Amino acid sequence: MTAIITRIAPSPTGYLHFGLARTALFSYLFTRKAGGEFILRIEDTDAVRNKPEYEADIFEELAWLGLNADHRFRQSEHRARHTECLRILIEKNLAYESEEPAKDDPSKIARVVRLKNPGETVVFTDLIRGEISFDTTELGDFVIARSIDDPLYHLAVVVDDEDENVTHIIRGEDHISNTPRHILLQRALGFRTPAYAHIPLILMSDRSKMSKRKHESSVKHYREQGILPEALINYLALLGWNPGGEREFYTLSELVEIFDLSRVQKGGAVFDEVKLFSVNQHWMRTLSVDDFIIRGNLVAHDAEKLRQIVPLLKERAHTFAEARAMLSDELACLFTVPAIDRNLLLAKELSDRPGMTKAALESLSEALKSLPEGVSSEIAKEALMPLADAEEAKGKGGRGAVLWPLRYALSGQERSPDPFTLVSILGPREALSRAQKAVGILEG
């Protein structure tokens, strides 16, 4: 049995985007399951738009995702071989040179190379879409090189796939229209035709095609947002492919075991950032406390308190960017004493019950004195909640009249964790100090 060899062939004209990353993933999964070889080939024939930083990003992001290639090639290194094949086609009268106005400057004459199109009907079996037929007559004698030593994509990709023994080509459905050209070139050069599988496009919510020029679709962007590679792999795998069943979360190695091209859908797959963030939160929650801090690049001057906060971050953050923002915003109160606004402190006080906020804080302060250091949020709630329940029973103000001033006194934020969690993390002594400070502000 012939070993399966697939390739991913990105052009370094932009940062690695979602569509290409998913194509790489599907190729990788298909190949690894079969025990074959996975090739990364940089298609750098577009010298004007190629950038070294884009090429570096492709290598870096694929490695970050764990999609490591068995071999790497650069298309420009095969230029002599491409020219050799062009000359063979011309010598066999299967292609010809044609003097034409240059595409980029019509005032100049270019000596392009065109393939003689026999006008055949090309039929191939797509591994996802079944039999596809093309009448190639309408293609005419199409250009395959700007000059004898400057091949275009169509020729270069066909030659490289042959020379690298590629057996299966998995790529986006936008390449279906290229396939008849490639098969005509394969026949003219006496090459075999690999198996093709064209996967659905990634669509935006309005069903438009995801475009790296119109949408923020780079892997780099989401990596910087704090998306984990295992989350992105998990999400991309399910974008246009259905493993069957209700299970949502898979590791890369698990995906290798179950991947099957026959379960790739034909219709476009809609990208949902909210779903991606939800998947990411799941994988963030699987991390140990130490791994969460390290992989999230989380920093605080009190390392032990930071460790205490990790469960809170796991509960609330969907990305590590969100987690870092929380540390410097709504959770900053856990590391520094917050400023208190008297008006906000009194936000729940009723006009016909002046002094109720101060009284509530004084009662809570007495309860805090009885709590030991290291108290859990559950025990803190058992000690403090009866005071709020008693206020609720009065029918005016409710629990908020007690819990709001305590939470605000501890956090200095309108949005923050509940007061019991704050007491647990700050410790009863620090919580008592902040509550008494708030009483002092009301007395001033």
pLDDT tens digits for range 227-281: 999 999 999 999 999 998 889 999 999 999 999 999 999 988 899 999 999 999 9
Cα–Cα dist 45/154, whole Å = 11
pLDDT of residue 215: 57
Give Cα separations from 115 to 85, 124, 387 (angstroms).
Answer: 12, 20, 86
Percentage of the chain beyond pLDDT 90 is: 82
pLDDT of residue 205: 78
Percentage of the chain beyond pLDDT 70 is: 98
Lowest mean pLDDT of 25-34, 75-84, 155-164, 386-395, name the range. 386-395
Whether 215 and 202 have beta carbons less than 8 Å apart is answered as no
How many Cα neighbours within 13 Å face the side chain of 139?
25
pLDDT at 74 over 90: yes
The predicted model gives 419-433 an average pLDDT of 95
pLDDT band at 20 (very low <50, low <70, confident <90, very high): very high
Whether 403 and 328 have beta carbons less than 8 Å apart is answered as no
**From the CB of residue 208, how many other CB atoms can be counted at a distance below 10 Å?**
12
DSSP letter for 390, please. Answer: H
pLDDT of residue 354: 83
pLDDT at 213 over 80: no
The predicted model gives 211-217 an average pLDDT of 65
pLDDT at 170 over 70: yes
Over residues 320-347, the pLDDT tens digits come to 999 999 999 889 999 999 999 999 999 8
State pTM to two decimals.
0.90
pLDDT band at 102 (very low <50, low <70, confident <90, very high): confident
The predicted model gives 420-434 an average pLDDT of 95
pLDDT at 351 over 90: no
- β-bridge mates for residue 101, sequence order: 109
pLDDT of residue 172: 93
pLDDT at 390 over 90: no
